[in-house]
Amino acid sequence: MSAIPLSSYARRLGLAVPIIQAPMAGSQAGALAAAVMGAGALGSLPAALLAPAALREETLAVRAAARGPLNLNFFAHRPPAPDPAREAAWRAALRPYYEEFGLDVAAIPEGPGRRPFDDEACGLVEALRPEVVSFHFGLPDRALLERVRRTGAQVWSTATTVAEARALAAQGVDAVIAQGAEAGGHRGMFLDEDPATQVGTMALVPQVVAAVDVPVIAAGGIADARGVAAALALGAAAVQVGTAFLLCPEATTSAVHRAALKSDAGQVTALTNLFSGRPARGIVNRVMRELGPMSALAPAFPLASGAIAPLRAAAEKQGRGDFSPLWAGQNVSGCREAPAAQIVAELVRGVWPQA
């Protein structure tokens, strides 16, 4: 058994191993990023659910705890126009659950709406100087993107199809994350809206590698050293791993989420739009079985989250994840209650196959 190869791009990033810790909003902050950075991998901080002050604080904490490159990850969606009729239909669909939990539907606020990358976030990037800035759901407007570029950060975004990879390369990204359909959490799709045509990692990565001239980072279903070796064989310069870190003590994964990952139910995931309005892969739970997993009633991203949030909170109080987004990819076999540094070490441990 020989050592895992380090691509020139991974070397250029200053990595000791070709592993990117996937940003996982809601399941991690700085502690996970710092832990993987300590093991030579690239740490990521997801900004989607953090206020700017919290993002700054987490970034500074990571910098104090670990050396090496850090990725700040932002959503680059276009906020939708509110649609009262659709919101009302969505709440009507959820009404039986409100009644079951004794919740007052009139008291449920509008969804908070995750903010896309904007002037304030860009100012943070300019101040914090992360080595990598990655985007999900496309790229921000040209002016903001130029400001990010001028910080010297590597700019990445996610492609779920060859067409999306080409579009990102045409806009000058430094690397494309090829997100296979196996990946947990939100699909990065921005040209396509149809989850039925999303492409698996084995098919997507080599086609993206052939289509673009920039390094390709493989994501989706990669949970152990075999998967890392396979992704590199497909031509990836590095591998992005998320799910395998969800049970780490450094992650902030909720109790119901951890329990689901450890259960037999954790083996079965599907793409669902019920929790945010965009397709995302999570462990199949009650609301996904009963209303979806995909539903035309869910308001546009990120508005669907508002009305379902009180159900999530009420169910979680009872120890149940029936209304929680239990994000996970299609390979939870790498999840272990072990320090993130150990997960990183095992991902690159001597399974590079011999010819």
Interacting residues with its own copies (CB under 8 A):
2-5, 161-163, 180-182, 194, 196-197, 199-204, 206-207, 209-210, 220-224, 226-227, 229-235, 267-271, 284, 293-294, 329-331, 333, 351-355
Instruction: Indicate the length of the chain as a whole number.
Output: 355
- The one-letter code for the residue type at 51 is A
* DSSP 3-state of 65: helix
- Closest approach of its own copies to the CB of residue 25, in Å: 22
**Sign of CA pseudo-dihedral 153, 154, 160, 165:** positive
- Closest approach of its own copies to the CB of residue 90, in Å: 20
Query: Sheet harboring 280-283: ordered strands across?
Result: 185-186, 280-283, 269-272
- Closest approach of its own copies to the CB of residue 10, in Å: 14
User: How many helices (H) and strands (E) are present in the chain, helices listed first?
Assistant: 13, 11
DSSP state of 137: S
Nearer to its own copies, 143 or 355 (CB): 355
Nearer to its own copies, 154 or 272 (CB): 272
Please name the residue that has the structure tokens 């691509």: 7
Nearer to its own copies, 53 or 196 (CB): 196
- Closest approach of its own copies to the CB of residue 330, in Å: 4
CB 148 within 8 A of CB 47: no
- Closest approach of its own copies to the CB of residue 197, in Å: 5
DSSP state of 310: H
* DSSP 3-state of 178: strand
| Alpha carbon 257 to its chain's center | 15
Residue 349 burial (CB < 10 Å; 0-12/13-18/19+)? middle
- Closest approach of its own copies to the CB of residue 351, in Å: 8
Residue 81 burial (CB < 10 Å; 0-12/13-18/19+)? exposed
- Closest approach of its own copies to the CB of residue 82, in Å: 29
- Closest approach of its own copies to the CB of residue 190, in Å: 16
In a 13 Å sphere around the CA of 67, the CA atoms on its Cβ side amount to 3
Beta-sheet pairing, 269-272 with 280-283: antiparallel
Beta-ladder partners of 2: 352
